[in-house]
Amino acid sequence: MKKDDHYALGSLLKTSGIKGEIILKFTNDCPEEIQKLESIFIDVDNKLVPFFIEEIRPKSANTATVKLERLDDEIKSSEFVGADFYISYDQVKELQIESDEYIDVVGYCVFNQNKQFIGEVLEFIDIPENPLLSIQSEKGEFLIPAKDELIIEINDLAKEIHLTVAEGLFDID
């Protein structure tokens, strides 16, 4: 299965207990809808492997404890610690999980409204009410507000973001 067809929700943080439970760390807040999931996909050697969920329960704002089929002890589960986990875009739609967060855009190429290349996203800085994109251009690093009103398009397949930016913003020497 291809990662392009799936949405990254987070990573497997650590094992929990001796029965093979794992703590999932979500990139954003743990959605309540996660309890409706029947399976997740874990990145194993750059391939997505499906695992069925026996039980899942939220632990904090951005973590949950999960028991996956076939992982019955701490040793088996520990093999997956640090791996990323995904769900399909169909599951995102079905569960109505907000997938338009900007956290997954690191490495995306940024273009202005005239389709001119600006630079590459280095980091998404999640400041409440003022999220920012750190962009590396040939003239240096810039911070741009990651506001809906500035975003023309995010193309996940092409890994591109098209923004409306003030003229001359990147001309600073």
> Which residue(s) pair with 134 in the sheet?
123, 143
Q: Rg of the chain over CA atoms, in angstroms?
A: 18
Distance of CA 158 to the CA centre of its chain: 16
Tell me the average confidence (pLDDT) per consecutive run of 10 residues in the chain, 173 residues long: 77 91 84 82 92 91 90 92 89 65 74 92 80 88 87 86 82 60
pLDDT attached to residue 62: 83
From the options 2.30.30.240, 3.40.50.2300, 2.60.260.20, 3.90.1170.50, give the CATH code of 103-167.
Answer: 2.30.30.240
> What b/e string do you get for 18-48 counting C-beta neighbours within 10 Å, with b at 16 or more?
eebbbbbbbbbebbeebeebeebbbbeeeeb
Taking the C-alpha atoms of residue 126 and residue 102, their distance in angstroms, rounded to an integer, is: 9
Q: Which residue spans of the chain are classified as CATH 2.40.30.60? A: 3-95
pLDDT attached to residue 101: 47
The class level of CATH for 3-95 reads: mainly beta
Neighbours of 127 (CB within 10 A): 9
Beta strand 132-137 with 160-163 is unpaired
pTM confidence score: 0.56
pLDDT attached to residue 2: 67
pLDDT attached to residue 35: 81
pLDDT attached to residue 102: 42
pLDDT attached to residue 172: 58
Q: Which residue spans of the chain are classified as CATH 2.30.30.240? A: 103-167
